[in-house]
Amino acid sequence: MSIFTGAGVAIVTPFHEDGSVNYEAFKEQIERQIAGGTDAIIVCGTTGESSTLTHEEHLDVIRYCVKVVNKRIPVIAGTGSNCTETAIYLSTEAEKAGVDGLLIVTPYYNKCTQKGLAEHFTMVANSVKVPIILYNIPSRTGGVLIQPETVVKLCKEVENIVGVKDATGNISGVAKVMQLADGCVDLYSGNDDQVVPILSLGGKGVISVLSNVAPQQTHDMCAKFFAGDVEGSRKIQLDALPVIDGLFCEVNPIPVKKAMNLQGLNAGPLRRPLTEMEPEHAEKLAQAMKNFGIL
């Protein structure tokens, strides 16, 4: 059974001006997501600035999220690392915190082989019992790609590796995964501009940046598709494209934090080395949000 079906939000981590985690604002964002129909919360992923959280902060944010959500919807924790032992540590601690699943990114910087990837993911999976979604995002990992054959092999041979978040942007590669999978891979879009195409190939949903600013619309995009209203789903996808373009015109999560702050959602500042959005980009993002009815 899939961890979730529909729109999962890759939720931001709000900070105070001094750089500390703003838990009050985080709680408000969690509640807004649940009220907006979001189907799952993915905490401490790329959008949550996990790369600049200390291990203690990382785990505290996960524990807090699990506590606030209180089993109303699934919580999936990003616990990947380029160090297998670190990924195992974060994953086992997240499991103790009560998460419903884990999102494990391809190891970055090391540039390991497919054999290395398979061993890394298997060792992490064997350290926990909760289900795991692989996170395939070569633009963040020095070009290292989990090949379709490796994705399918892991989902077939490792009991608790159940799917993949695909942020490769390569629809042909996604189709190859699903052709080889024979139903064993839960597929989630990792790109907000490819939700409907991936659903059409058998995807279960999206792990979304857009959901931070448009939770209801992102949920509805998936829900309409699954209800057979493909035209309605496609309309939301196409109408959202200018906002999505704005959310990715600079590296994520720079634009989405700007967008949330424009909405009065108190996402706070970014941690260095990320810097504030360029004014001309922010202006275009704001206009796109107004046109989409979310500002």
Active site residue 23: no
Radius of gyration of the chain (CA): 18
How far apart CA 229 and CA 25 sit, in angstroms, is 35
Among 268, 275, 272, residue whose Cα is nearest residue 23: 268
Q: Which of 67, 108, 109, 135 is catalytic?
A: 135
Which residue(s) pair with 226 in the sheet? none
155 and 185 Cβ atoms separated by less than 8 Å: yes
61 and 26 Cβ atoms separated by less than 8 Å: yes
Q: Is 54 exposed, middle or buried (0-12, 13-18, 19+ CB in 10 A)?
A: exposed
Active site residue 258: no
How far apart CA 202 and CA 103 sit, in angstroms, is 20
DSSP 209-278: SGGGT-HHHHHHHHHHHHTT-HHHHHHHHHHHHHHHHHHTSSSTTHHHHHHHHHTT-----PPTT--PPP
User: 3-class DSSP state for residue 7?
Assistant: strand
DSSP 12-72: ---B-TTSSB-HHHHHHHHHHHHHTT--EEEESSTTTTGGGS-HHHHHHHHHHHHHHHTTS
Q: Which of 165, 204, 224, 257 is catalytic?
A: 165
Enumerate the active-site residues: 135, 165
